[in-house]
Each structure stands twice: as structure tokens, then as C-alpha cells.
Structure 1
Amino acid sequence: MNVKFRLTLMSFLQFFVWGAWLITIANYWFGTKHWDGTQFGAIFATMGFASLFMPTLTGIIADKWINAERLYALLHILYAGVLFYLPQVESPNAFFWVMLVAMCFYMPTISLSNSISYTTLKSTNLDVVKDFPPIRVWGTVGFIAAMWITNLTGNKASANQFYIAGISAFLLGIYALSLPKCKPSKLISEKASLMQTLGLEAFKLFANYKMALFFIFSMFLGGALQLTNAYGDVYLDEFKHFPKYAESFVVQYSTIIMSISQVSETLFILAIPFFLKRFGIKKVMIIAMMAWVFRFGLFAYGDPAGNLWMIVLSCVVYGMAFDFFNISGSLFVETSTTAKTRSSAQGLFMMMTNGFGAVFGSLVSGWMIDKYFTKAFTDVQSTSLFVGSEPTNTHLLKYIKEQGVSILNNGTFDKTIYMKDWHHIWLSFTVYALVITVLFALLFKHKHTRAEQQAIEAINH
């Protein structure tokens, strides 16, 4: 079988097993389990916690002791096992710990899949620069395919999303055992210090004001990514409580609408060389940050009817927000560090965005939404006012029933029900992104360098 095809299949499944639940888990959490928002924020933080140490540890193991493809296979099989167990968990606290274990198995496989691809391409005398991007883009296709399957099979709020991901992860684990062997390189010196071995020497870069500022802003922007991953789909799904939107395409296929974001990613990657050549790295970073402002602002004012274009455009600008900062940021690190610290610095960049940033964004947003943007209702009339309909509408009654609430004879509920104020949630995120953008533009002093120009020219070619 063709090597590039085998790696393409691996890349497709690598992100399929994540996309099957990542965007839709909020529907399961809030719509099926009715657990609170603070705890949900902690669930998304598990990805950040796992990203802080697991990729480094598994990288060391693959470099020194175990074939990368075997370690990769083992991690996916273990990840599958945890996913199969997740639907049995009935406590939000227990769910957090089980999900943390799942993420400790899954998150390092992202870097391992890249490593396997690089090693295999090089060993077969293929061009990594030319041949890897077309392979990697199928990962995004896999993520989109998983989202569509979860939605179209009616499982965006059910435990079946974890079974879809689990079965696929198990099959990927078995398949990975057939991949070309990637033996340990043993490049890590036995005399290397613990700091060197773990790649922590890159933290010395914080002594440089500009690098420290860049990494700090990377963390804050990394937090923004978690907000739409965590809440985007459930936000669209909750329009079903409004009668005039309940039967709309957006409500029925909210996950498919959200997948426009991933499609946009693949398209904006093609535009990066033009923007970098035209504007330079700093301005492209600022463009990415402004895209986050529009991402949240458009969500704040969008709806499935007259303002559907806002929801669609929000998904489109996501590609610019995500790709432009990741690529330009990576180029900034590449051209601002020495060969000795470059790899560690790139790892630190990912750690600040996907590690510390993810933890910060998930925990703070969960707490903030629960404390300031969740409305409590104790009677039918107040709730019907919120959804803009008569107290007898079937959508409201269905929602009340889903919450496990009974209506007493005097029109009050036997227990309080909660609804989220999505308009102000997205507005607060908009302000957050705008503040970051303005501060970055004012504080981050950077001039286009010759090294950056050469790197940009390399991308263009």
C-alpha cells in the first residue's frame, strides 16, 4: 500500500476520534446530564492539563525506548477504553477525572502522529515540506467527517458520540501496528540534565521582554480557542427553546454549521503566504486577534433566521483567527531563537496556547458563565418571557420536562431551572478579545526582520 495513503488514513482517523465528541460534548453535559457550567469548564481544561506534560513524556519514551508507532497504537487503544467507560459515569466530578485520563492518552498522539509521518516520509526519500501538508489536511477532513456523522446520526447530545470515537480509536490503534517501524533515535544524551531532557530550558526565553510578552499573549489567545470549542455547538442548539427557531436548519444541524469553521481552516491556510508577504508577522498576528473579536461579536448578534449570515460568517472568520496566529506565531518563534533552543521554544509556544491557555480559558469561562450569565427561573411565566412565547408552547414544556422539573398548580416549578444568556456571554468574550488585541498592538514592539522575510519566502515556494 502507498506510504502517503497509509499516513493520510492515519491523519484522518487521528482527528476523527477527537471530532466525534469535542464540539458536541456540551450538548451531552448540559442537555442530557444537566450538570453545571463551572464543572464543564474543568472538562475542557483536562486537554490543557494533559498537554502540559504528556507530549513531552511520551516523546522521551519514543526517542529512547519504544517504537513511536507502537506507543501511538497503545495510547489510542487505552484512549478507546476510557471513552467506552465515559457514558457509565454519573458524577460530574468523576467525569472530570475520567476525561483527564482520556486526554492523557490522546493529546500526546497528536505530536506522535506528526513524528511518525516525518520519520516515514524521510525514510522513503519523500519531501517532508512538500508531502506532509496534503497528508495533514486530511486530519481536518476527518474532524469534519466525525462532526457530521455525530450530528446526522442524531447523537450530538447522546453518549453514543463517545462510542463512535471509541470504536474508531480502537481501530486506529490496531491499524497503527501495521505502520512502518519508527525505531527510537536515542538522540537524548545520557548526560543531559532533567531540564534539558524535558525541554524546560526554553523557559529561559522569558528573560527576554519581547519573547515573554509574546508567550503571555499566546496563552490569553489560547484561552479564546476553548470558548468556541466548548460552547459554540450548545449555543446554536439552545435556539430550539425559541419557537420561531425550533425547526430551523441551524438547530437541527448545529454541528454541521459549526463544521464550517474547520472547512474555513483548510482554506485560510492557502491564504497565509499572501498575508505574511503583504503585511508581515506582527500585523498578521493582529489580524488573527481581530478575527477572534469578529468571531465572538457575530455570535452575539446572530440567530438562525434573519441574522443567520452572522453565524455563518463567524464560522468563516474562525479559520483566519485560528490559522493566522498559529502560523505567524510559529514563524516568529522560528526566526527569533537560536538553533539550540528552537525546538524547545516551539514546544513552549504550544504549551502556552494548548496547555496553560486551554486551562485558563476553560476554567475562567466556566466559572464566569455559571456565576454571571446563567439565569434562574422559578415559574412558567418568567421562563416564557425569556423564550419569547406563551406559557403553553410545546418547546418550553419540552425543555421543562427535559430538566426533570414539574409545574405546580400555581404555575411555579418544583425546583429552579437555568438558562444561559448567550448574547451577553458572547459579548463578554468579544470585549476580552478586543482588549487583548489593543494591548498586543500597543505593547508588542516588533519590526519585520530579514530572517522573517526569508522564512516567508520559503513558505511561498
Structure 2
Amino acid sequence: MKSKIWTQLSAMMFLEFFIWGSWFVTMGIYLPAALEASGAESALAYATQSWGAIVAPFIIGLIADRYFNAERIFGLLHLVGGVLMVFLARAETFAVFYPYVLGYMILYMPTLSLANSICFYQLTDPAKQFSFIRVFGTIGWILAGLSISFIFGWDSPEGMAQGALRNTFYLAAGASFLLGLLSFILPKTPPQGKGSGKTSIRDLLGLDALNLLKDRNYGIFFAASVLICIPLAFYYQHAGQFIGEIGVSNPAGKMTLGQFSEILFMLLLPFFFKRFGFKNTIIVAMLAWFLRYVCFTYGDAGEGVWLVLTGIALHGICYDFFFVSGQIYTDHKAGPAIKSAAQGLITLATYGVGMLIGFWVAGKLTDEFALGPNAHQWDQIWIYPAGFALLVMLLFALLFKNEDVSYEH
């Protein structure tokens, strides 16, 4: 790959996840502190991620695969998203905040799939090359969080008292405008679905990507993607709360272990993927999900703190080996005419349907085992996602037939 293209794609991934990490992590603190939002309202705000992911395939199928270059749509979405981020920063009540965050996530979630499509169009060997570009997204997420905490101090007690967390939305807006402008000089990714003849509503909505589900193996993978994201939602929604409640010091700092491990395993992924194949890579990811929740079940803030930290550090395997491998597999299975829509389909399965169910289930279980406002029976809660992840892993191992995921050029 030319060094110029590698630099452009890496910068794109860096800003893509810098934007998300700038505001999404601290929104759970910002909403009750600045807007006096209830727990239910905060859950509604986080669920916009899933609604955006559900809508994403239709936006992509409507325009990205048939009519316009992916990088141009990508840039336009980020420019409009930057405007919505400014409105989010200025919202004074949750009633005003919610429509903007919903609109923003409907625009942002398709950009995840578009970023993948832009990369895969340029790569000659995605199984080997993609992770070395995607790792810059993780670096962007980490630097966003570290900037908020250690450079600007917006989440410090003093910053919180001054309402400084509002600036996280301005930070995301600035990065969105920058990425939106840079998108127009990204490598050209023309639509692959153009063709002669009449265009049907099915074509316009990108529903041809659903044909992937007729492939037995891909159908099994799709179902596994939905199911495994149910226990994943427990981690995103409650891991930080769990660490803080049991008395582990500096919980926000400890949680960054997960992102640092992402970098390590993102770099190891191509070698593991080539050596052991797609099926074994996915099984290892699901096993890590199970082990993570076992660690949380038996960990504590004393002698068992190493179990808690191990559970966090397993996030790199959980995320990279499953999500990134799944994106590579989806690109391999999709034909050239539906590459963008296919990436939108897997985004719908994971960030959309799976995590939407998972957020709801996690909230119900956490309320069921509540001992008070800031106390829960966490050893009972974590048993459920652990058992569910193990069940999904066993079913996938039994039903999915191993296949070679390679590219010919």
C-alpha cells in the first residue's frame, strides 16, 4: 500500500474514534450532573447508539453503494454531525438534548461502516492490513479520554463544578468538522452497485445485503453477533459502575487498560487470523468474554483486584478478535455491489439489535440485584453474561463450518 493512502486511512480512523471517545464515555456523568437527568433518561440517551446502528444499513444502502462516493457521504455526515454536537453542548434540559443526540447517532453510526468500506476498497489483503489501520481508532479513543482528564481536567471535581464537561461536545464538534473536511481528500471510493436497468426499492434500501444471510455460515455468524453483544452491553453499561462500587481506586484510569489491550491485540490479530483461521479467532474472542465475567464474579478491591484488572484487560481480545475479524469476514463474503450495505448489516447486528437488547437486560438484572442506591450483588449479576457468552461460544463452535477467508487479486 502507498504510504500516502496508509496515512490518510490511519488519520481517518484516528479522528473517527477520537470523536466518539470525546463525549460518549463521559455522557453518563454529564447528564445527571448538568441536566439533572434520571437513570432512565440516561439509558435512553445511550440507547441512541443502537437506534443509529439499526437505521445505518438503510442510509448506506440508499446512497453509498449505488450513487455517491463513500468518502463524500462520510464527510457530509461528519460536517452535519459537528453542527449537532454544538447544539448538544448548548442544550439546557434533557428534553432538548435527547432529539439532538438521537439525530447525531443516526448520522454517526453509518460512518463506522463507511470508514470500513473506504479502507477495504483500498486494501489488497484486508486480513493482514486492516488491523494496522484500525488500531489508530483505538489510539484516538484513548487520547480523547486522556485529554479530557489530564490535559483539560474537565472531569475533575473542579471542572465538574464549573460545568466544564459541556466542552467535551465542543471538542467532538471540532474533530467532526476536521474529519468532515479531510474526508474530501481521502482515497476515492466510488459506488460499486451501479448498473443498468430499473432500480427497485429493495436496491435503494440496500436490502440485497440480507442475501448474505442465505449463506449458512454467514447466517450463523450473524446470529452469533447479535447474541454475543447481549453480554457485551453489560460491560459497557456497568463495568465502570462495578469497579467504583467495590472500592477499586481510580476507576476511570483502570478502565483504560481495556483500550491499551486493544492496541496490543489489534497488532497481534493479523498473525493469529492467518495462523488459526476465522472460526478459531471468533471462538477465542467469545471465550475471553466468558473469562472476563468470571473474573468480575470472583474479583474484589483487595486480594482479588488482579482478577478485576484481568477482566478489563481481556477487552482487547473480546473486541478486536470478534469485531474486527467480523468486519473482515463480512467484506470477504459481500460482493462488490453491496460492500457498504454489508458493513451496515453487521453494524446493525452488533451495535444495533444485540446491544439494544443487552442494555435493557443488563438494566433489569442490575435493578434486580440492587442492595441500595450505590450497592449491588455484583457476584450474582456477572454470572448471567458469563453463562450466556459460554453458551453462544459452544453453539458457534458446533454449528459454524470453518472456511478460508482469503482474498485473490
TM norm structure 2: 0.80
Partner of 1:428: 381
Task: State the SS of the aligned residue for 1:154.
Answer: coil
Partner of 1:76: 78
1:455 equivalent in alignment to 2:377: no
Partner of 1:199: 206
> Partners of 1:48 and 1:103 in 2: how far apart?
8
Contact 1:293 1:431 in 2 (8 A): no
1:151 equivalent in alignment to 2:162: no
1:365-380 aligned within 5 A: 365-369=362-366, 371-376=367-372
Q: 1:128 to 1:300 in 2, by over 3 A?
A: closer
Q: 1:443 to 1:314 in 2, by over 3 A?
A: closer
> Partners of 2:178 and 2:74 in 1: how far apart?
12
Partner of 1:419: 374
Q: 1:429 to 1:109 in 2, by over 3 A?
A: same
Contact 1:210 1:444 in 2 (8 A): no
After superposition, the C-alpha distances for 1:181-233 in whole angstroms (9 at most, x for unaligned) are: 55555625552432244332444565677655543332121233333233333
1:13-412 aligned within 5 A: 13-30=15-32, 33=35, 35-58=37-60, 60-118=62-120, 121=122, 132-152=130-150, 153-156=152-155, 158-180=165-187, 182=189, 184=191, 187=194, 189-203=196-210, 212-237=219-244, 248=249, 250-251=250-251, 254=252, 256-272=253-269, 275=272, 281-327=278-324, 329=326, 343=339, 347-369=344-366, 371-376=367-372
Partner of 2:8: 6
After superposition, the C-alpha distances for 1:404-442 in whole angstroms (9 at most, x for unaligned) are: xxxxxxxxxxxxxx3242x42x64244233234225415
> Partners of 1:180 and 1:213 in 2: how far apart?
34
> Partners of 2:128 and 2:285 in 1: how far apart?
25
Give 1:357 deviation, angstroms. 1.0
Partner of 1:393: none
> Partners of 1:5 and 1:338 in 2: how far apart?
26
Greater alpha carbon shift after TM alignment, 360-369 vs 128-137? 128-137
Contact 2:63 2:204 in 1 (8 A): no
> Partners of 1:282 and 1:183 in 2: how far apart?
31
- Structure 2's unaligned 5+ residue stretches are none
Task: State the SS of the aligned residue for 1:72.
Answer: helix
Contact 1:59 1:112 in 2 (8 A): no
After superposition, the C-alpha distances for 1:162-188 in whole angstroms (9 at most, x for unaligned) are: 222122212222333444555555625
Q: 1:363 to 1:76 in 2, by over 3 A?
A: same
- The residue type equivalent to 1:372 in the other structure is E
Which has the bigger relative contact order, CA under 8 A and spacing at least 6? 2
Aligned residues: 396
Contact 1:285 1:328 in 2 (8 A): yes
Task: State the SS of the aligned residue for 2:374.
Answer: strand
Give 1:317 deviation, angstroms. 0.9
Q: 1:118 to 1:233 in 2, by over 3 A?
A: same
Greater alpha carbon shift after TM alignment, 152-161 vs 185-194? 185-194
More helix by share: 2
Task: State the SS of the aligned residue for 1:187.
Answer: coil
Identity within the alignment, %: 31
Contact 1:202 1:341 in 2 (8 A): no
- The residue type equivalent to 1:352 in the other structure is A
Task: State the SS of the aligned residue for 1:310.
Answer: helix
- The residue type equivalent to 2:394 in the other structure is A
Contact 1:42 1:363 in 2 (8 A): no
Q: 1:191 to 1:204 in 2, by over 3 A?
A: same
Greater alpha carbon shift after TM alignment, 72-81 vs 291-300? 291-300
Task: State the SS of the aligned residue for 2:25.
Answer: coil
Task: State the SS of the aligned residue for 1:172.
Answer: helix
Q: 1:199 to 1:73 in 2, by over 3 A?
A: closer
> Partners of 1:281 and 1:108 in 2: how far apart?
25
Task: State the SS of the aligned residue for 2:398.
Answer: coil
Q: 1:74 to 1:238 in 2, by over 3 A?
A: farther
Q: 1:115 to 1:271 in 2, by over 3 A?
A: closer
> Partners of 1:207 and 1:73 in 2: how far apart?
33
Partner of 1:441: 394
> Partners of 2:8 and 2:275 in 1: how far apart?
37
After superposition, the C-alpha distances for 1:126-178 in whole angstroms (9 at most, x for unaligned) are: 87666554332211111111111122233246222222212221222233344
